[in-house]
Amino acid sequence: MLDVTRELYNALLQQRRDAYRLRRVTVTAKMQYAEMTALRAEDARVRAVYRESQDAVLHRLGLAMAAFFRRCKRGEKAGHPRFKSRRRWKQVEFPHGDRALRFDQAQQRVKIPSVGVVKLRKGRQIPATYKRAWVVRKNDRWYASFECERAPMQQREKNARPRPRGCSVNSTQQRCTMARGGSSTAGSIAASKRANAWRGRRNEKPMRGATMPIRSPAGWSTVPM
């Protein structure tokens, strides 16, 4: 499926380049859509691929060409769309994923068009309705990605003080507030300093005739070397 969609992308791009370079004719997406329909009736390999995935290939090429002409108008470095090799083509898009990919009741298996039923190992529950979906090959493994709508975050109260991002340190109180965890740890910086000082004293080599500190239940004491 990856090879067919990649070859289709390269063929569509080659057609547009040759038509403009040889005859100064601009091939539109509507013209290529009709030719793709005729190609599906003739070629069994193309017909075996889900039709909406082929439409997504045409849409992807259209976005690349639109970005090319936009850069040309702005006087920027144009960068004509390039042909895709196997190394640069590793995903198949399903524009309407909720009607293309079918899950079982437990969401442990998914049925992919032109592939069949595949066992699924998911990290979270997939909503019943989602938009686009992708089947991606990465590091010799296959992954499925889904585009879902998230509920809007609740608006904060007007008088609520916004929580800072990252870690804010107050040198007077020596407190570290983590924005993600939402908790405060008092004296964490002082404890870190004490630990570093203890490591430094352990790494120091005692000099002859000096005193070396030792740890005892009563506290620190010194003994002659």
pLDDT digits (tens, 9 = 90+) for 128-182: 788 889 999 988 888 888 888 777 766 545 555 555 554 444 433 433 333 344 4
Q: What are the two backbone dihedrals, phi and then psi, of residue 157, each rounded to the nearest 5 degrees?
A: -65, 150
CB 13 within 8 A of CB 81: yes
- Tokens 């004293």 sit on residue: 201
Q: Please choose, from the candidates 133, 46, 138, the residue with its C-alpha nearest in 3D space to the C-alpha of residue 87.
A: 138
Predicted TM-score (pTM) of this structure: 0.64
* Per-residue confidence (pLDDT) for residue 159, from 0 to 100: 54
User: Tokens for 222?
Assistant: 């010194």
Task: Report, as ranges of residue numbers, the positions in the chain whose pLDDT lies below 50.
Answer: 156, 166-186, 207, 210-225
Distance separating alpha carbons of residues 162 and 179, to the nearest angstrom? 10
For residue 87, the 8-state DSSP code is: G
* Per-residue confidence (pLDDT) for residue 36, from 0 to 100: 92
DSSP string, 105-118: TTSSEEEETTTEEE
Q: Give the list of residues 6+ apart from residue 56 with CB closer than 8 angstroms, or none.
A: 93, 94, 95
* Per-residue confidence (pLDDT) for residue 176, from 0 to 100: 37
Cα-atom radius of gyration of the chain, to the nearest Å?
31
Residues in the chain: 225
What does the domain layout of the chain look like in residue ranges?
Answer: 2-84, 92-146
Query: Which H/E stretch holds residue 118?
Result: strand 116-119
User: Tokens for 129?
Assistant: 């309705």
